[in-house]
């Protein structure tokens, strides 16, 4: 694999190789098997793959979160070396390469930016729109790979691609979990030991919630999710919502379910000081 940290260097290398489809996996580093699953999907489909590692400041609404975000570049490169081929590229730009001038663009994501994560992380998806569109400009991929772990982000990026009429296909990939069910996340390594031990309660609870849809309506399911998570000390739920995967319309009664749509139960939990998100598809009854 090649490690490139400038935009001109990257563009030159991609042009020289002229391989298509060009696959792209954007990440913020602190890589784990979830990221690697995206890389594997990309190398399976694309003769050339670019993996970017860049912690984007404009998507952090919380300055401490940005400061504490794990940065493990040496370990990341060592891990990627096992999965990338000779010509594949790891792109590690700095802030000046990504934002040569301040990015003042304001995106309009409609309802996608009014529910769930958006209510708890103001400005987050605008920052995601800025960085992903800028990286798409730089890399010019044919296919970009994203994890459904960031459920709302996938919908936002698909909407951005439609709005900007970009010629990139967005592929969403399944959530990779630890053996105990906890969704892999770069933030998991920041969890205190006692909190980490109890963290599987999140997936266990939303799995049960998905089963409950057969015999219960949504208020009962929400009540169950909140009480199951918050009975663990140090765990506080920010939201649990059931929403469709394109317009992210959150529903409060089963009668609001629309046929032909897929629904996901989406959760954000404060586990100690660390904020975790997860989701599960809700089978329709
Ligand atoms: P991040 O580095 O957190 O910005 O994540 C980079 C990409 O990896 C995003 O598309 C995430 O959705 C995806 N990702 C993160 N965690 C997982 C996971 N546990 N399983 C699958 N994809 C993931």
From atom 13 of ligand 1, which residue's Cα is the shortest distance away?
147
Say whether both 131 and 195 belong to one domain: no
Is residue 145 a part of any domain in this protein?
Answer: yes
Alpha-carbon distance of 46 to 23, in angstroms, equals 6
From atom 18 of ligand 1, which residue's Cα is the shortest distance away?
34
> How far does residue 229's CA lie from ligand 1's centre (Å)?
23
Say whether both 80 and 197 belong to one domain: no
Please count the other Cβ atoms lying within 10 Å of the Cβ belonging to residue 259.
5
Is residue 180 a part of any domain in this protein?
Answer: no
Say whether both 121 and 197 belong to one domain: no
Q: What is the pLDDT of residue 284?
A: 83
Alpha-carbon distance of 146 to 27, in angstroms, equals 9
Is residue 131 a part of any domain in this protein?
Answer: yes
Is residue 178 a part of any domain in this protein?
Answer: no
How many folded domains does the chain comprise? Answer: 2
Alpha-carbon distance of 223 to 256, in angstroms, equals 18
Among the candidates 173, 205, 234, a domain finishes at: 173
Say whether both 12 and 85 belong to one domain: yes
Name the residue of 131, 149, 156, 177 whose CB sits within 8 Å of the most ligand 1 atoms, as the mutation to test its pocket: 149
pTM over 0.75: yes
By annotation, the residues acting in catalysis are 35
Strand pairing category for 89-91 and 2-4: parallel
**pLDDT per residue as tens, the chain (285 positions):** 999 999 999 999 999 999 999 999 999 999 999 999 999 999 999 999 999 999 999 999 999 999 999 999 999 999 999 999 999 999 999 999 999 999 999 999 999 999 999 999 999 999 999 999 999 999 999 999 999 999 999 999 999 999 999 999 999 999 999 999 999 999 999 999 999 999 999 999 999 999 999 999 999 999 999 999 999 999 999 999 999 999 999 999 999 999 999 999 999 999 999 999 999 999 986
Alpha-carbon distance of 56 to 38, in angstroms, equals 19
∠ CA(57), CA(60), CA(63), 5° rounding? 90
Name the residue of 26, 30, 35, 73 whose CB sits within 8 Å of the most ligand 1 atoms, as the mutation to test its pocket: 35
Q: What is the pLDDT of residue 285?
A: 61
What residue spans of 173-268 are helical by DSSP H? 193-198, 201-212, 218-230
Q: What is the pLDDT of residue 55?
A: 98
Is residue 77 a part of any domain in this protein?
Answer: yes
**Domain at 240, CATH number:** 3.30.1300.10
**Domain at 65, CATH number:** 3.40.50.620
Structural domain of 20: 2-173
Say whether both 140 and 260 belong to one domain: no
Report the Cα 187 to chain-centroid distance in Å. 12
b/e map 23-48, b = 16+ CB within 10 Å:
bbbbbbbbbbebbbbbbbbbbeebeb
Is residue 201 a part of any domain in this protein?
Answer: yes
Alpha-carbon distance of 193 to 37, in angstroms, equals 26
Is residue 179 a part of any domain in this protein?
Answer: no
Among the candidates 127, 144, 173, a domain finishes at: 173
Residue ranges lining ligand 1, Cβ < 6 Å: 27-28, 34-35, 37-38, 146-147, 149-150, 173, 175-176, 183-186
> How far does residue 28's CA lie from ligand 1's centre (Å)?
9
Say whether both 127 and 190 belong to one domain: no
Alpha-carbon distance of 87 to 90, in angstroms, equals 10
What percent helix, strand, coil does the chain show, rounded to 5?
45, 20, 35
Is residue 133 a part of any domain in this protein?
Answer: yes
């Amino acid at each position: 694999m090649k490690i490139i940290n400038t935009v001109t260097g990257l563009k030159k290398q991609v042009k020289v190789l002229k391989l298509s489809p060009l696959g792209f996996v954007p990440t913020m580093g602190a890589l784990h098997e979830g990221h690697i699953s995206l890389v594997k999907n990309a190398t399976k489909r694309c003769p050339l793959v670019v993996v970017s590692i860049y912690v984007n400041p404009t998507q952090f609404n919380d300055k401490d979160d940005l400061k504490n975000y794990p940065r493990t570049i040496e370990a990341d490169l060592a891990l990627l070396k096992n999965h990338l081929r000779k010509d594949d590229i790891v792109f590690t730009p700095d802030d000046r390469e990504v934002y040569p001038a301040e990015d003042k663009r304001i995106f309009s994501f409609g309802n996608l930016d009014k529910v769930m994560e958006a209510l708890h992380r103001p400005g987050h998806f605008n920052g995601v729109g800025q960085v992903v569109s800028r990286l798409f400009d730089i890399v010019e991929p044919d296919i970009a790979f994203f994890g459904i772990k960031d459920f709302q982000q996938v919908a936002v990026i698909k909407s951005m691609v439609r709005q900007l009429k970009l010629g990139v296909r967005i592929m969403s990939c399944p959530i990779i979990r630890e053996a105990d069910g906890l969704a892999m996340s770069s933030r998991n390594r920041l969890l205190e030991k006692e909190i980490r031990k109890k963290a599987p309660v999140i997936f266990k609870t939303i799995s049960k919630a998905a089963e409950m849809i057969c015999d219960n309506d949504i208020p009962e399911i929400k009540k169950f999710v909140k009480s199951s998570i918050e009975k663990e000390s140090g765990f506080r739920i920010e939201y649990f919502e059931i929403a469709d995967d394109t317009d992210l319309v959150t529903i409060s009664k089963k009668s609001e379910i629309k046929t032909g749509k897929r629904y996901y139960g989406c959760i954000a939990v404060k586990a100690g000081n660390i904020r975790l998100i997860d989701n599960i598809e809700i089978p329709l009854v």
